[in-house]
Structure 1
């Protein structure tokens, strides 16, 4: 899965051949989650509270860029990196 951002040990990825609704994957230590882009909510999995808050804030900030990447992924094009949360 292509990595699109990495911050505070949190790895954000998006698949090339994924299914709707638009989402991204998060890995932090042994935790994994799937986050819906439009709603900025966890669809599946679990993250510790601190990391969850950071990921959801990052999602809100970069929602447009995430949707652009989703469109790129849907058409099999390379994804753009997205600035990490700082």
Structure 2
């Protein structure tokens, strides 16, 4: 599970050979959620409202990078990190 980004205690990862739709996983404390890259909606799990807001804001700004990593993951290539904060 390669880590793509870490900010404010939130960890963003993507798994190799994961299932569709294209998504990433966010962890914050004991909570976890899978987030759809296109809709930014939660597919599975839950985050606090504040953490979810931070995650979706960052994902919206870095959607193209997340799509690129999703394309790399099935080939087991090194995923590109996303800068922690601008």
2:25 partner SS: strand
Aligned-pair CA distance for 1:17? 1.2
Residues 25-76 of structure 1 show CA distances to partners (whole Å, capped at 9, x for unaligned) of 0110010000000111111111111111000001100000000000000222
Q: d(CA) in 2 for partners of 1:85 and 1:31?
A: 22
Q: Partners of 1:24 and 1:85 in 2: how far apart?
A: 18
Equivalent residue for 1:33? 33
In structure 2, relative to structure 1, the CA distance for the partners of 1:85 and 1:55 (3 Å cut) is farther
| Residue aligned with 1:73, SS | helix
TM-score by length of 1: 0.95
TM-score by length of 2: 0.95
1:17–1:73 contact (8 Å) kept in structure 2: yes
Structure 1 residue aligned with 2:73: 73
1:50 pairs with 2:50: yes
Q: Report the number of matched residues.
A: 86
Q: List gaps (5 residues or longer) in structure 2.
A: none
**4+ residue runs of structure 1 moved beyond 6 angstroms?**
none
